[in-house]
Structure 1
Amino acid sequence: MKMSRRTLVTLTAATLPALSVASAAHSAPPTPPHADGAQALARARVAADVLMADYDQNKAWFPSSWWNSAVALQTVGDYMLRSGDRRYLDQLDHTFERNKGPFPAGELSGDELYGNFTSRAIDDSGWWALTWITAYDLTGDQKYLDMAVTIGDFMNDFWDPSTCGGGIWWDEERTYKNAVTNGQWIRLTAELHNRIPGDTAWLERSQVAWDWYTTSGMVNEDGLLNDGLTDACENNGDRVYTYNQGLAIGAALELWRATGDPHLLDKARYFADAALVEGALVTGGILTEYTDVLGETTNDNHKQFKGIFLRYLMDLADTTGDSRYRDAVATQASTIWEVDRNVADQLGVRWAGASTEESPNVFDWRTQASAFSALIADVPQDGVRRSLSASLSQAPVVMPDGEPVQLELDLDVTITSADARRLHVRLEAQGPEGWEIENAHRVTVDVPGTGRDGEPETVTVPLGVTVPADAADGDHRISVTASGPGGLEFLARTEVVVARTIDFAAGTREDAPWLFDAGGSGVTDEPGRFADGDSYFVYRFPFPASTTSAQLTLTISNQYLVDVGPDGESWTRVLAEDEPIKDASNRAAHELDLAPSLDGEDKDVYLRVTDAFPEDGWGGQVHHVSVTYGGS
């Protein structure tokens, strides 16, 4: 049986198996050696590529999360500024042009979007303003700065000194004054002042906001920011979230740039030092959100908080040159890479890598974006002369049939160099005992020379893998070590999943091997995988060549359309919900005969789920999939 490689859409990250993540205890593991500049840049580049593989080109965002998309895109902007790699400028601009108009509730956000990236959630608007300033810094294009001003004007309408003496409201309903919105506001207004010649208005707003912020009561006696104020305008004693502390650092730094007041730089240090005290926001030296602790449950908001802290800790380390902050950054980055990374180079929510069966680490694009910030911060501010990275394509599932199976994978070797030159890279592949791997042992990359950092050059090398007929079910590691001049080295990894049964919970790491195309779908905490609007997802079942019958049991709910087909291109409708159900009251297990789709060139069968009512923000949700099959 020969299985040709298909181009697989990168999976929604929460579903990928954490195959190489250590199952750590509550405390952080010993700190790994810090990366040198070349390693740090290579790691950040790989993390950027993994993150952007989840970018939905159609909707021009990251699926199902509006404010998280803003923060993720700003992080990609941070990477481009730091590395000189500008490959993702088009996606940044595509998001700007595609999404600057109004949208009804449910299309891109649970809230209605008024246009110009504003909504009833004032802090959501603030994240987009900060993202467009980063885009302006990257490109110099005035439209981005103008958009940030427009959003700033919108937010300014929610500055209200009649309650608690000042502060920006968190929401349009004016229910809460909190740390995140006001930390954003100071950073944003100071950034606008520092980019608009002759400005005085934004600077005045920033200074007034800072004076209110630091005397509002949100800063507790330990120098940490509790989440917000009570109706009586007192510190509410709520959690100290890492992103609020990060914004305090960032606000002080940018206002210091605007004024030169040394007290502000001291305050930035003060907020950072308070956070980095053992037991405050770090455990064993590793930044830790309270939801990271084993037994706690994270959510889509908390997943990105730590990355925002690292953005501004990087700013402080760059500004002061203080080795304490640089070491703190390097510790986060090295630990993430060693113990919080799965075989697909996805980065999890627990930077210390803790994971158990009852309380697994979580991997998705939000956790990727957050940990990515730590890798960016670890890249030297003054650039890197040369770097090398490598990555292996995702392998398809193998369902053995008594004969060896041949796979073709792609190995991408990527190099940056300040000088134009031809670089020779050695390749050494390894696989399980008894498996055959065919690959080139050396590849040559011609690098034109782009100055320090710059856009990378990539060469794709085929890798042939023969899976023995008697390969055991489970995950089998394939790796390639790429070695270049000057001690450059990078390890690329992938897993081949061998399976003789199909039975998995959708929206978990179990469904990852079967997910052929994530299609902008999302996952829920229940768990489940859903497709709403114009998103979809496709499972692929590569049955053995002898298969003549297959019966699928699909547990599904809400507003679904289900199609099956033999090639991932032609489809037959097999299930459809004709009522706009939103409460999963139609959840049921459906028996589907897959035999009619077994007549393709191979015995692959594809199952696609889409939204029966794409206009209302609710779509089909799959909960469980199991298949029985037989043959001659």
Structure 2
Amino acid sequence: MSMSRRSRHVLLSLTLTLAVIAGLQPVAHAGPPGGHPDDSADTVSVARARVATEVLLESYDQEKAWFPSSWWNSAVALQTIGDYMIRTGDRSYVATLDHSFETNKGPFPAGERSTDEIYGNFTSRAIDDAGWWALNWVTAYDLTGDQKYLDMAETIGEFMLGFWDPSTCGGGIWWNEERTYKNAVTNGQWVRLTAELHNRIPGDTAWLDRSLDAWDWYQASGMINDQGLVNDGLTDSCASNGDTVWSYNQGLAVGAPLELYRATGDPELLAAAQRLADAALGSELLVRDGVLTESCDALDRSCDDNQKQFKGIFMRYLTELADTTGEARYQDFVDHQAETVWADDRDSSDRLGQRWAGGTSAEHPNVFDWRTQASALSALIADVPQEAPGRSLSATTAPDQLVVMPSPGTTSAVRTAVQVAATSDHGRPTRVDVRVTGPRGWAVRPARTRLVLPTTGSGTPARATVPLDVTIPAGTADGSYPLTVTVTARPGLSWTTRATVQVASSVDFDAGSTQEVAWLWDAGGSGLSQAGSRFADGTSRFVYKLPFPAEATSAEATLTIDNQYVVALSGDGEDWTVVLQEDEEIRDGSNKADHTLDLTPYLGDDKAVYIRVTDAFTADGWGGGVYHVTATFGTD
């Protein structure tokens, strides 16, 4: 039977699990030791960042080695994972970065990785897309010391250099190959990248000269307005267009002179970075009630897939400024973002949303996907001290959302698991106590387990997984019920996580709602549209699992769906039959309608039916979108 990515990860680790429970000592991954003695807030910050990274990686497509359907967004998400590893000493995902490098360094036709053709070496007609990949590979070089990453970043830099054009506006990098726009993001990247290359290439002078020239041009371009905020770009007449102040442009404007300051030691460059950061923190255009807020975060608006990642880029460079200056105002802001995200912008599956201060509306709900996860993860990474604590403890459940459609008068059973991760600042194993509690009358086995995790002083955590069998009493009313897992280790480490069991007698949910989460078996890189649908563009997909009760002999489902959909059904999540397909390239939702599907032929031994939605025309980015799902079943 098919299973979600997190479930696959858990079950693949059961052999290790049983060994750990038995007290054996598998070999831990190597990594650098931690830093200063434990502080409870610091150990929690590491655990939060680790859990959020694990959730982000659930959306990583192992086959294509990216985060589905977003080329430049994948570069930023991968760099965030690199930031996490550098900050915490956890080296769990070095192979993931390398896999992405080796898989994606060649050319791809339009529609395969981007709507644009990818020329090779992570370049395309979108110059800023190439810039994000270059910055990512510099981070990979800093993490590993592997020269191939720095060489690739320099290759991308040489490609971008071809779009520096003094004949228009006196300088600056063009945003695209057609040379239609000079903007803040591409030029902020350029200053930062050229300074990074200089700082890592022994004996360089050429990249430093380019960086200094670019910074002089950037400051004089007019994109930085009188308030010290960065507008989006320049008009055809080379004046500021006064367009939206986005957090990522402001962040790059902080990070660019900061890297140049490292290259030159010029205090004016550090002062410039601080002026730009202070302008952001003091502006209601970017900060509301102390929380970093994009203009599209308003409750009557929605952010598109690009804008979802902007705030994380700002936090990356503000964190560097806080580290460099030691200024309390920057560190206080960083701490507040992390606390707010964790308290107000986290759902029951530890997904992090778009609106860091929380808040949602029926027409413009707060969105939780891998892009918002990567962005908010940067806030959690920022809260980890420069010298990460050597000890930490965390736990997650997988699956963390389960659905039961019980048969009348009989008990029901589900299985989940808890994965425990720990690091130590010594070479001794870590003993962990795991306690699980459920609603009154429910049985959870085991309710208590003691583990010995083979921690060795590495920043990379030792892990173990404990399967949990849950029995639900007959007659349990419809509703959501928590299983609470608390893990503790001496001295003073503790972490609590949850799984939620949804008991349901019928299927009825809106896409993107909290009710949808339990039915969503595999998000598969799908997204949520501003119109209220879950959509699958390009090679992405999503799968709903409907676990009908044992007495079901027939079933049907009704999907409200539009655009370029392909709907397939399965009884095991592996063998699929296409039952519904749009054969026209509909891009405006004009074919939105209810379609009823006969699920009866797919009722297998366990009575679960899987519904998969993909894109009928993978090259154009208008895949199938589902708004609402209902299902009913019959018995003989």
CA distance in 1, matches of 2:620, 2:223: 39
Report the counterpart of residue 429 of structure 1 in structure 2: 436
Equivalent residue letter for 2:508: D
CA deviations 1:382-407 (Å, max 9, x no partner) are 12120000111124211122222112
Q: How far did residue 87 of structure 1 move?
A: 1.2
Aligned partner letter, 2:633 = Y
Moved more, 500-509 or 72-81: 500-509
Q: Does 1:537 align with 2:542?
A: yes
- Which position in structure 2 is the counterpart of 1:399? 405
The answer to whether the 8 Å contact 1:508/1:527 transfers is: no
SS at 1:369's partner residue? helix
* Aligned CA distance change for structure 1 residues 446 and 513 (closer, same or farther; 3 Å): closer
Q: Give 1:625's match in structure 2, choosing from 614, 629, 632.
A: 629
Distance 2:311 2:538 in 1: 30
1:603 aligns with 607
Please give the per-residue CA displacement for 1:121-179, whole angstroms capped at 9, x wherever unaligned: 11111101000111111111111111111111111111111222111111222222111
Matched, 1:97 2:93: no
One-letter identity of the residue aligned with 2:373: Q
The aligned residue for residue 524 of structure 2 is 519
Change in 2 beyond 3 A, CA 1:240/1:105: same
- Cα 1:488/1:519, change in 2 over 3 Å: same
Residue of structure 2 in register with 1:15 after alignment? none
Q: Which residue, 254, 259, 265 being the options, matches 1:254?
A: 259
Residue of structure 1 in register with 2:12 after alignment: none
**2:83 matched to 1:72?**
no
Q: Which aligned pairs between 1:159-558 and structure 2 lie closer than 5 A?
A: 159-277=164-282, 279-394=284-399, 395-402=401-408, 403-451=410-458, 454-506=459-511, 509-558=514-563
How far did 1:503 drift?
2.5
SS in 2 for 1:60: coil
- Aligned match for 2:129, one of 124, 127, 131: 124
CA contact (8 A) 2:285 2:295 kept: no
Could you tell me how far apart the structure 2 residues matched to 1:631 and 1:361 are? 39
- Asked if structure 2 preserves the Cα contact closer than 8 Å seen for 1:548 and 1:595, the reply is yes
TM-score normalized by the length of structure 2? 0.90
Tell me, yes or no, if the aligned pair for 1:417 and 1:447 is still in contact at 8 Å.
Answer: no
Match of 1:29 in 2: none
Shift in alpha-carbon separation, 1:488–1:300, aligned structure 2, 3 A: same
2:367·2:512 contact (CA, 8 Å) conserved in 1?
A: no
Q: Secondary structure at the match of 2:276?
A: helix
Aligned partner of 1:594 in structure 2 is 599
Mapping of 1:98-113 within 5 angstroms?
A: 98-113=103-118
What one-letter code is carried by the residue in structure 1 that aligns with 2:339?
Answer: S
Q: Structure 1 residues 608, 123: CA separation in 2 closer, same or farther (over 3 Å shift)?
A: same
Residue pair 1:178, 1:227 contacting (<8 A) in 2 also: yes
Percent of paired sites with the same residue: 61
- 1:54 corresponds to which residue? 59
Q: Residue deviations 1:350-373, cap 9 Å, x none?
A: 111122334421111111101100
Deviations 1:549-582 (A, max 9, x none): 2122234445444332322233344334455655
Q: CA 1:186–1:433 in structure 2 vs 1: closer, same or farther (change >3 Å)?
A: same
The 2-side partners of 1:607 and 1:137 are apart by 43
90-99 vs 124-133, greater mean Cα deviation:
90-99
Change (3 A) 1:268 1:90: same
Using the TM superposition, give the Cα deviation of residue 619 of structure 1 relative to its aligned residue in structure 2, in angstroms.
4.3
Distance in 1 (alpha carbons) for counterparts of 2:206 and 2:487: 54
Report the CA distance between 1:315 and its aligned residue. Answer: 0.5
Amino acid across the alignment from 1:626: T
CA distance in 1, matches of 2:575, 2:286: 52
Instruction: Please report the TM-score for the alignment, with normalisation by the length of structure 1.
Output: 0.90
**AA partner of residue 412 (structure 2):** V
SS of alignment partner, residue 429 of structure 1: strand
Maintained 8 Å contact 1:9/1:518: no
Does the CA contact (< 8 Å) of 2:69 and 2:540 recur in 1? no
Tell me the distance in 2 between the aligned counterparts of 1:271 and 1:616.
38
1:352 is paired with a residue of what secondary structure?
coil
> For the structure 1 residues 613 and 295, does the alpha-carbon distance in structure 2 shift closer, same or farther, using more than 3 Å as the test?
closer
**Alpha-carbon separation, structure 1, partners of 2:115 and 2:314:** 26
1:9 aligns with 2:16: no
- Matched residues in 2 for 1:597 and 1:216: separation? 62
Match of 2:11 in 1: none
SS at structure 1 position matched to 2:139: helix
Shift of 1:521: 3.7
- 1:336 is displaced (CA, Å) by 0.8
Partners of 2:234 and 2:46 lie apart in 1 by 41
Instruction: Report how far residue 519 of structure 1 moved.
Output: 3.3
Rounded to whole Å, the distance in 2 between the matches of 1:354 and 1:500 is 30
Q: CA shift at 1:608, angstroms? A: 2.8
Work out the CA distance in 1 between the residues paired with 2:453 and 2:579: 51
The secondary structure found in structure 1 opposite 2:465 is strand
CA distance 1:266–1:93, shift in 2 (3 Å): same
Q: Deviations over 1:401-439 (max 9, x none)?
A: 222211221011110012111322233333334433333
Distance 1:568 1:144 in 2: 38
Note the alpha carbon deviations across 1:456-512, whole angstroms, 9 max, x for none: 011112223222333332322221121211211111112112222223344555433
Q: Deviations over 1:28-70 (max 9, x none)?
A: xxxxxx9711111111000110001100111111111111111
Measured in 2, the distance between the counterparts of 1:338 and 1:52 equals: 21
| CA distance, structure 2, for counterparts of residue 167 and residue 584 of structure 1 | 40
Alpha carbons of structure 1 residues 559 and 303: separation in structure 2 relative to 1, 3 Å: closer
The answer to whether the 8 Å contact 2:543/2:612 transfers is: yes
Note the C-alpha offset of 1:381: 0.6
CA contact (8 A) 1:528 1:622 kept: yes
Runs (5+) with no aligned partner, structure 2: 8-38
In structure 2, distance between residues paired with 1:440 and 1:422: 23
Do the aligned residues in 1 keep the contact of 2:300 with 2:363 (CA within 8 Å)? yes
Aligned amino acid, residue 155 of structure 2: T
Residues 201-254 of structure 1 show CA distances to partners (whole Å, capped at 9, x for unaligned) of 110000001111111111112211111222222222222111111111100110
**RMSD between aligned alpha carbons?**
2.2
2:570 to 565, 571, 582: 565
Alignment deviations for residues 72-100 of structure 1 (CA, whole Å, 9 cap, x no partner): 00000101111111111111111111111
Report the count of equivalent residues. 603
Q: What stretches of structure 1 of length at least 5 have no aligned partner?
A: 12-33
For residues 455 and 485 of structure 2, the distance between their equivalents in structure 1, rounded to whole angstroms, comes to 25
